Amino acid sequence: MPILMALTITANCIRNYEPVINSISADPNPVSPGGIVNLTCSASDDDNSSINKNESLSYEWHAAVGEIIVGETSNIATWTSPTEPGLYSISCSVTDKNYGLDIGTIEIIVE
């Protein structure tokens, strides 16, 4: 007597959408030498699956010159500008828990 078996396989495909930086703002811009600039990075993540829908975003700020201090929430920071006038770039990188990444840059004038 033959034995019949049935096997059902269900596969769920979860796609991770990378976060998108909507804007980076700097206030004031331009700034005086040695002045303090308030930075804000606004980002979103359009994951629709139930697993990734509410994943949190992490923010990191980068500047080659000057000092960055991250605020209470990591999407806000302050930058102390250098004493040399010039054009300086500040970058913000945003990641999600599944290693999605976006990087944005804003230029700030020190005069």
Please name every residue paired with 42 in a beta bridge, in sequence order, or none if there are none.
23
Check residue 100 and give left, alpha or beta (phi > 0: left; psi -120 to 50: alpha). beta
Per-residue confidence in pLDDT tens, the chain, 111 aa: 667 666 665 556 667 788 999 999 999 999 999 999 999 999 998 766 656 666 789 999 999 999 999 999 999 999 999 999 999 999 999 999 888 999 999 999 999
pTM for the model: 0.82
Q: How many CA atoms lie within 13 A of 83 on its CB side?
A: 0
Instruction: Judge residue 110's burial from the number of C-beta atoms within 10 Å of its C-beta, 0-12 exposed, 13-18 middle, 19 or more buried.
Output: buried
Q: What are phi and psi of 27, to 5 degrees?
A: -140, 120
Of 82, 71, 111, 29, nearest in space to 92 by CA = 71
